[in-house]
A and B are shown apart, each in its own frame.
Chain A
Amino acid sequence: MSEPVLRVDGLSVAFGHPLGKVHAVDDVSFALAAGERFGLAGESGSGKSTLALAILRMIKPPGRIEAGEVWLGNTRLADLDEEGMRALRLAGIALVPQGSMNSLNPVLRIGKQIADAFTDHGLHLNRGEEKRRIAALLVQVGLPEGVARMYPHELSGGMKQRACIAIATCLRPRVIIADEPTSALDVVVQRQVMATLARVQEELGAAVVLIGHDMGLMAQFIDRLAVMYAGRLVEVAPIAEIIDRPRHPYTRALVASLPSLETRGALTGIPGLAPLLRDLPPGCAFHPRCTLATERCRAERPLLRRVDGTEVACHLA
């Protein structure tokens, strides 16, 4: 692809624990083109939220980034000091964290929370300009201008989430990372919020990383999907490929577990349990639950490699 806007190279994050090190993110690499919609799918414990925090260098002890590089355009994030990193957050890469709609400051009006983002990034506007920008932002996310004077508790779930998107995009970032932005919303509101996100992204020309576990939502929204399991990437491919021809057994099982609205009696799950991250099995992390596991799978950890235009980490692909 032409100059990727975000490149992650071999990122690894580990947490110290008295009972053993926990590898929350293990050697993850991917690249994002400008304006691309990228999905990161995985279940609880797969490491996707930790990956998002690691990209923004927001991992706190006892966790630390053990290895890897993150590039935003031509800037290597490791070269930036804390001040530089702070300036980059929200202005370069914006994060809409999980449950953010419940983390809006309850005693500040929405307008003030957006204005705070401006001042924290050294953008000092006069009153009139500030009001105008905030109004434009709110309209862009489909909210009436009056929302600037409202408090979070006066807004519905969908409106709060859209306010969070407004805060996240107020400095025109190049990458927007949205971590389960619609998990607490009903399907109808979910659709409205995702449509808003799509429109904002197009207007900004920004790339979006959507983190979630709803394969149906991924299929309808994103262009390329990365699937994570036990902190590792197992498959990265265009979404159509993943839905029609999943190559990794875990991806196959994930797609199959999506309950259909057409035929009944086809509820399939994945037997077994996700492994404890501090006690991963040798070889492929998925082999205890994989019906096709071979001796090689039990011994040797598969690396992500190219297989007809997709990337898979499986010995049998």
Chain B
Amino acid sequence: MAPKWPAILRDAVAPLIEAIDVSKRFAGGLGRESTLALAGLSLAVHAETPSIIAVVGESGSGKTTLARLLLGLAEPTGGEVRYRGTDLHKLTREERRTFRRDVQAVFQDPYGVYNPFYRVDHVLTAPVRRFQLASSRAEARELIGEALRGVGLQPEEILGRFPHQLSGGQRQRVMVARALLLGPKLIVADEPVSMVDASLRATILSSLRKLTDDRGISILYITHDLATAFQVSDSILVLYRAHLVEAGAAERVIAAPQHPYTQLLISAIPRAHAARDWLIDEDEETRKGRAPLSAHGCCFADRCPHAASDCLAAPPDLYHTEQRRAVACVRFRDHPALSAGALGEVLHFTPALPGAPCDESFPHSGQAE
């Protein structure tokens, strides 16, 4: 287990990667309005406290945009992304190299990420060459073999093959091995198992969990699947239509969801071992939302059963409702509002601060007040 740093010391060390009120808006083009892909979001990942953070949302929620912004593959239109205290897009060439070593990615499509012209070895030898991780070919082979074994693959079965000769699960694991080669502190995994068979998902996700527990690598697990997010991550962020609606400890968010959208999501997951009451009366479903969609109010107002006039006026603040929970819903306005940047504290293991709302049922919360 990683050591628990006192909050005050941790503030002195800049987080590995930090998003400060980051937002992305795509220009509309001729006659069309611009699209908000991600509203102001703040998030921090500390290298000293590795954990798995799940970002859950449907398509259009902004989760992939967030991943691309954190990886430096896209530029934010508002706010900043900082690597160890410096703006990502103002890094020197040397700093950028270190950034690329510290932050790596695994993408969703286990086929498109391979250049069909080369064997799969290419995807592993390229980073070794670019970052000069080995001084000889033998050393490079050893490094690559180790990385493959680390994700449960046999180098003899993988190397020398073309991408179409491997299964989807194998290809995805090779991608994880590639990410590991550089010894990163954070891996951004964008839907790493959604295109992989159900029986193989567990294997891949378990190996990701092992990376965090054994090697101290943080993982940003981006997915639409709440169930796997619950199984494998420490904290969950729920995005809806480019906004963060709920964030907190994984068990709490699933066991007792506070935001109406999270509640809707959880109830909509068909479960195998539950009563057969999942199929709904569609007309009831469509009647639920009472308020019209407003561009200025809460993003969920048009589908929310609790929508009130306040919800249409302005987007709700993020309220700190439990020690490790934050919800963007006006129903919780009697709780303290979180400032931008404070979300990181909510998501991490922190000793209880005096006066903070307490979270009795959560086992890791340190001394309960």
Contacts and interface: CB of A to CB of B under 8 A. Distances in A.
**Physical contact A–B (CB less than 8 Å):** yes
A213 B272 CA distance: 12
Interface residues of B, number: 44
A69 interface: no
Contacts of B230: 259, 261, 264
A264 B280 CA distance: 27
B169 interface: yes
A136 interface: no
Chain B at the A interface: SS class:
helix
A260 B203 CA distance: 15
B145 to A, nearest CB: 20
A215 B272 contact: yes
A34 B279 CA distance: 21
Interface in A7-54: 43-44
A125 interface: no
A75 interface: no
Contacts of B254: 261
B178 interface: no
A195 B281 contact: yes
B203 A188 contact: no
B270 interface: yes
Nearest to A43: B197
Interface stretch (A145-153, A165-173, A268-276, A294-302): A268-276
Interface string A175-218: 00000000000111011101110110000000000000111111
Contacts of A186: 58-59, 224
Contacts of B294: none
B231 interface: yes
B68 interface: no
A126 interface: no
A216 B197 contact: no
A199 B226 CA distance: 27
A271 B285 CA distance: 40
Nearest to A157: B59
A268 B209 CA distance: 13
Contact of A220 (B224, B228, B271): B271
A103 interface: no
B280 A260 contact: no
B206 interface: yes
A269 B201 CA distance: 7
Interface stretch (B261-269, B314-322, B326-334, B338-346): B261-269
Count chain B CB atoms within 10 A of each CB in A192, A259, A260, A271 and give the residue with the most.
Answer: A259
Interface in B229-269: 230-232, 250-251, 254, 264-266, 268-269
Contacts of B58: 186, 188
Contacts of A274: 167, 197
B199 interface: yes
A255 B272 contact: yes
Interface in A244-280: 253-255, 257-261, 264-271, 273-274
Interface residues of A, number: 42
A274 B270 CA distance: 26
Contact of A187 (B169, B232, B250, B269): B269
B133 interface: no
A50 to B, nearest CB: 17
A191 B271 contact: no
Given A186-B224, A195-B280, A269 B231 contact: no
Interface in B266-303: 266, 268-273, 276, 278-282, 285-286
Given A214-B270, A219-B271, A220-B270, A187 B199 contact: no
B272 A258 contact: yes
B203 A271 contact: yes
Interface in B136-183: 167-170
Contacts of B199: 43, 253-254, 257, 269-270
B134 interface: no
B227 interface: yes
Contacts of A71: none
Nearest to A219: B272
A194 B285 CA distance: 13
B113 interface: no
A255 B199 CA distance: 10
A142 interface: yes
A6 interface: no
Contact of A196 (B227, B228, B270, B282): B282
20 contacts: A43-B199, A186-B59, A186-B224, A190-B268, A191-B270, A192-B285, A195-B285, A213-B197, A216-B271, A219-B270, A219-B276, A220-B270, A220-B272, A221-B278, A254-B199, A264-B230, A265-B231, A267-B232, A269-B200, A269-B202
- The 8 tightest CB contacts between A and B, nearest first, are A269-B202, A186-B58, A270-B199, A220-B278, A259-B227, A219-B272, A216-B270, A220-B270
Given A220-B276, A221-B270, A274-B167, 5 more contacts: A221-B279, A259-B225, A267-B231, A269-B200, A274-B197
Interface of A: 43-44, 142, 186-188, 190-192, 194-196, 198-199, 213-221, 243, 253-255, 257-261, 264-271, 273-274
Interface of B: 58-59, 167-170, 197-203, 205-206, 209, 224-228, 230-232, 250-251, 254, 264-266, 268-273, 276, 278-282, 285-286
